[in-house]
Structure 1
Amino acid sequence: MHGHGYGQPVKQPPHTAWLVFLRVLFVALGILTIGFLTWAMMLRLAAVTRRSLDWGLFVAVLAADILSITLVAIEPGDEIHTTGGYVGILLLLCTLVGTIAYYLAADIRHFLLQQQAYEAQRTAPAYGYPAPAAPYGATTVPTIPTVPTAPGAPGMPSASGPHTPPPMPHARVPQPPQPPLTTPPPQRPAPARIDQVRAELDELSDYLRKQDGPEGGR
């Protein structure tokens, strides 16, 4: 299977001063000849750009020049006083003005694009050319290709990024153990209260005994 091959390098455009000189020369040639050499501008433009459109315009301008020259040449006498002569002069002047405008615009645009392409070729390597070699002594680190793995596979890192451990919960301060709640034992009555009750019971027994005594004696 064949590749695209090497890209064709862009040539450096001529100096701007030389381009301006050629434009002025060909425009002046068309004006000084009153349009009879207008086709020379289109011939140079077509030879530079090598576009089929410019070659077609060159043929059209050449045909217009030949037709206008023919109409002026068949005019009888030294002065122009027929319709054919006026048509020839008008066609000659219109062709001259239109050709000058198109020639300057197309020529400037062509060399401007060529200059931009040349600058881009200098700053970056063209497609199909190897990249510049590293300087002597520079070490290069080989790149290891990464193999995509399904997320969650055992033994493999997750595709979403490095594993982040979950945040640890805040350590709780141990609290001292609380004693169990127990019901307090019933309090025993005080000894003085017992003695008082006992004394009252004794008095009640004596009283009853005295009451039973007289009744028993009767």
Structure 2
Amino acid sequence: MHGHGYTQPVKQPPPTGWLVFLRVLFVTLSILSLGFLTWTMPLRLAIVTRKPLDWGLFAAVLAVDIVSVVLLGSEPGDEIHTAGGWTGLGLLLGTLVVVIAYYLSADVRHFHQLRYGGFAPHPAPAPAPSYGYPQPPAPYPAAPLAPMPGHPIPAPAPHAPAVPPPPASAPVPAPPPRRPAPARIDQVRAELDELSDYLRRQDGGHEGGR
């Protein structure tokens, strides 16, 4: 069977100190050039993030810088006297402020997501059931079924108190056999004597009749 393969390693972001140095470098370069190099900040951002929005911002900033240079270059002297010159200067400085704010926020957000958002562990896929082999138990107990609407929830039956077993009684001794009373023996003996006398009289009567 083929495995899931190896996951591609996530690219580690540069150190924080190096990122701070690059941000300060590009911002300082744009300010010292009085906005003529403002386009370098969105260019670096577009190369790093590779987003169409950042590439579009770079093209727009580059176009604004070119227009500003043309307007400032149309001034006859070294100082600004015409409306075109003031417009070019306003576009140059306004673009500089907006691009600095966007560049810093977008660059920080991008590397923050790359550093902390790209290493979230993904849950492992559930294995396919294999027939003929016992399945492992579920990691969580199944939730109890909700009662149907209109049916009351049965109350648990109270537990009956445990009744202790009765104590074992001592065995009762059997009464000894009773002997017949002497009067009963005498009565039986008298009856036997009477029966013997009666039989003798009967035998004597039969002999006399002959």
- The alpha-carbon deviation at position 105 of structure 1 amounts to 0.6
Task: Tell me the CA shift for residue 107 of structure 1.
Answer: 0.5
Letter of the structure 2 residue corresponding to residue 42 of structure 1? P
The one of 131, 134, 143 aligned to 1:144: 134
How far apart are residue 76 of structure 1 and its match?
Answer: 1.4
Change (3 A) 1:145 1:36: same
Q: Spell out, residue by residue over 1:115-160, the C-alpha distance to the aligned partner (whole angstroms, 9 max, x if none).
A: 1035x35xx4x5789xxxxxxxxxxxxx93169xxxxxxxxxxxxx
1:147-206 deviation line (CA, Å, top 9, x unaligned) = 9xxxxxxxxxxxxxxxxxx98962553899xxxxxxxxxxxxxxxxxxxxxxxxxxxxxx
For residue 100 of structure 1, report the CA deviation from its aligned partner. 0.5
Q: Which residue of 2 aligns with 1:159?
A: none
Aligned equivalent of 1:153: none
Runs of 4+ in 1 over 6 A off after TM superposition: none
Pick 1 or 2: higher relative contact order, CA cutoff 8 A, min separation 6: 1
Which residue pairs with 1:51 in the alignment?
A: 51
Aligned counterparts of 2:136 and 2:65: Cα–Cα separation in 1: 70
Pairing 1:170–2:160 present: no
Aligned to 1:199: none
CA contact under 8 A between 1:7 and 1:128: conserved in structure 2?
no
Q: Distance in 2 between matches of 1:5 and 1:53?
A: 34
After superposition, residues 2-17 of structure 1 pair within 5 angstroms as: 7-17=7-17
AA matched with 1:50: R
CA RMSD of aligned residues (A): 3.4
Query: Mapping of 1:59-208 within 5 angstroms?
Result: 59-118=59-118, 120=119, 124=121, 144-145=134-135, 170-171=163-164, 173=166
The aligned counterpart of 1:215 is none
Give TM-score scaled by structure 1 length: 0.56
**Separation in 2 of the partners of 1:23 and 1:174?**
92
Residues 5 and 128 in structure 1, CA contact (< 8 A), matched pair in contact too: no
Query: Where does residue 197 of structure 1 map in the other structure?
Result: none
Change (3 A) 1:103 1:171: same
- The letter of the residue matching 2:37 is L
Q: In 1, distance between residues paired with 2:32 and 2:57?
A: 21
Q: Quote the Cα distance in structure 2 between the aligned partners of 1:59 and 1:15.
A: 29
**Counterpart secondary structure, 1:34:** coil
